Chains A and B, each alone.
Chain A
Amino acid sequence: MRTRPTTRALQYIAVLAYLIFLGFPLLWLISSSLKSPREFASVTPSILPKHVDFSNYTDALNEQGLVRGLGNSLQISVYSTILVLIVALPVSYALARFRSRLRPLTNGWILVSQVFPVILIVIPLFMILRPLHLTNTIPGVVIVYMVWSLPFALWMLQGYVAAVPRELEEAASVDGASRLRTIVSIVMPLLRPGLIATAMFTFISAWNEFFFALVLLQDPQLKTLPLVLARFVGAEGQVQFGPLAAASVLATVPSLVFFAFLQRRLTSGLLSGAVKG
């Protein structure tokens, strides 16, 4: 069926509207980060900077708290990602391969953990971690992130495990390989794309996370990047929007790199996990 010219025109108008709604905020953020302080204060702002000026970026990177926040965020995200993969791999294997009684329980837990408001969890968590001297520490936040990105990681990974042909494992066990051996040398290599995708999602969710960090980290030395950025905004009045915009762009870079990498697989891979899981 041919699309009529008027319909076509309307479609393009609609696409244009979407592009502006979705893209303009990003364009503005990036262009703000490249404007000189003088241009920033101008009463008639222009969409693109008249002179590209990187001083906001150098200013942001000279800010002590910001660099420290970046380092803290990186550390926490990397550690919790590694932990999640170690824990999620065997569980998702068991979920996909065995029909044990733990499966409905685990799926129930995944569901419940999505429905419950975090405020209910964060108070007891705080009360558990405090006597263990784990509030206000990086390991404390790491294990909390590990547990709370686990549901999504399991949900993704078990779909990938289910896609690995069972015959390969049977062949290995006929050849006398133990279950562990089969997992390590047959399943894991085939799971590489799934493991990478899961790792990225875990990393990003830790990198972007705000609420648990806000409650668990009070020490300014330990604050993650989102906390540092949020505090900058809070200090309205003397807030410098230029460096803040630059820091915001920097904070988004890791996620953008990962998403650029994942983009093609996202529609198919993520949802195949959902359907097969």
Chain B
Amino acid sequence: MTATLTAPTQVKKPGKPKQNREAILLFLPALLPVLILSVYPLIRGIALGFTDARAGLHVETNFVGFDNFSKLLHNNLFWDSFRIGVIWTLSVTILQFVAALGLALLLNTDIKFRGVARTLALIPWAMPPVVVAIMWRLLLHPTNGPVNEILQNLHLTDHPINFLGNFSTALPAVIVVGIWVGMPMTTVTLLAGLQGIDRTLYEAAAVDGAGAWSQFWNITLPQLRTVIVAITSLDMIWNFNSFGLVYVLTAGGPGGKTMLPMLFAYNEAFRYGNFGMAAAMGDVMVVIIILFLFFYLRNRLRSEA
């Protein structure tokens, strides 16, 4: 892209109208499907939140203003699921980041087994979320799962724990799986960032007598800042909007303890048929994400300036 910006041909004025026409021609095959199946549904989806739309073919739909939102305000189940969604998003994103940064730092040294670790770190990314969920259900199975077996052998517990079925352990267990799935993308991105840091910075710091810790704190982290902000923002969005993994792991149970907002809205729309209400929930989610990103990015960017 830098080439495009600096290329002298771009500056020439006379070429422009023709270029624009050519560009539009090249866009044409994508335009129609994107408008019909992406742009229009997005706008329609936002608008649906202000209607009483229901599933079914010949149901009348009325504009109801902020009715859905005032109902949501008093819907404790929705706010519960929202709270769970925030806990899930923040825990997974933060722990994922810490774990991935540790792994990326290790992979950036001359340590052995780097190749193996790198390959293993990529596999979770390639697996279908449904398969990941099935795999962890096998691992955490109360009677013949290995995790319980190991815990009992180490005498950490005297009875098998039903991790995904207990009120107190379900959410933490699901968070661990979330970290496992999301680590690869974060690790790869951070590793690429690490490899882009100028080595002479470290050499200069070493000459000045800076230890490993101070080098990490004063060189690595500031140099990585842009990459960190970008990947944590993306992780946050992805985690907040995630669905398939938890749907197969627990389906929101036990007793709604892992009912992420996406699962809640899905049930509202496709189990109970309340399209309008589900869209209103989606609207609230969008507003929250945008507000969150706004404050997060604003603070990050300000501290950078």
Contact = CB atoms under 8 A, between A and B. Distances in A.
A211 interface: yes
B183 A22 contact: yes
B269 interface: yes
Interface stretch (A54-62, A107-115, A190-198): A107-115
A252 B180 contact: no
Given A25-B180, A28-B139, A230-B130, A87 B29 contact: yes
B3 A162 contact: yes
Contacts of A147: 33-34, 37-38
Contacts, number: 275
Interface in A59-95: 86-88, 90-91, 93-94
A152 B111 CA distance: 33
Given A11-B109, A116-B42, A150 B34 contact: yes
Contacts of B265: 117, 119
Interface residues of A, number: 101
Interface string A260-275: 0001001110110000
Contact of A88 (B30, B38, B262): B30
Interface string A114-131: 111111111111011010
Interface residues of B, number: 102
A248 B195 CA distance: 35
A93 B30 contact: no
B234 A123 contact: no
Contacts of A144: 37
Nearest to A272: B192
A172 interface: no
Contact of A22 (B126, B180, B269): B180
A102 B106 contact: no
Contacts of B182: none
B279 interface: yes
B136 A98 contact: no
A127 to B, nearest CB: 8
A103 to B, nearest CB: 8
Contacts of A241: 138, 141
Interface of B is mostly: helix
Contacts of A115: 237, 286, 289-290, 293
Given A263-B119, A266-B188, A267-B192, A102 B270 contact: no
Q: Which of A7, A41, A87, A204 has the most CB of B within 10 A?
A: A87
B4 A96 contact: yes
Interface string A237-277: 00001001100100110011011000100111011000011
A226 B30 contact: no
A94 B278 contact: no
Contacts of B116: 19
Contacts of A125: 37, 41
Contacts of B266: 119
Contacts of B247: 210, 214, 230
A38 interface: no
Interface stretch (B19-27, B167-175, B217-225): B19-27
Interface of B: 1-4, 7, 9-10, 19-20, 22-24, 26-27, 29-30, 33-34, 36-42, 44-46, 48, 53, 57, 102-103, 106, 109, 111-113, 116-131, 133-139, 141, 143-146, 149, 180, 183, 188-189, 191-192, 195, 206, 212, 234, 237, 240-241, 243-244, 247-248, 251, 261-262, 265-266, 269-270, 275, 278-279, 281-283, 285-286, 289-290, 293
Interface of A: 1, 3, 7, 11-12, 14-15, 18-19, 21-26, 28-29, 32, 40-45, 47, 86-88, 90-91, 93-94, 96-102, 106, 109, 112-125, 127-128, 130, 143-144, 146-148, 150, 158-159, 162, 166, 170, 179, 204, 207-208, 210-211, 214-215, 225-226, 229-230, 233-234, 241, 244-245, 248, 251-252, 255-256, 258-259, 263, 266-268, 270-271, 276-277
27 contacts: A1-B206, A7-B212, A11-B106, A18-B117, A28-B135, A28-B146, A32-B138, A45-B146, A47-B146, A90-B27, A93-B26, A96-B1, A99-B4, A112-B42, A115-B289, A118-B243, A121-B41, A122-B269, A128-B36, A146-B33, A147-B37, A166-B7, A204-B126, A208-B130, A230-B133, A241-B138, A256-B126
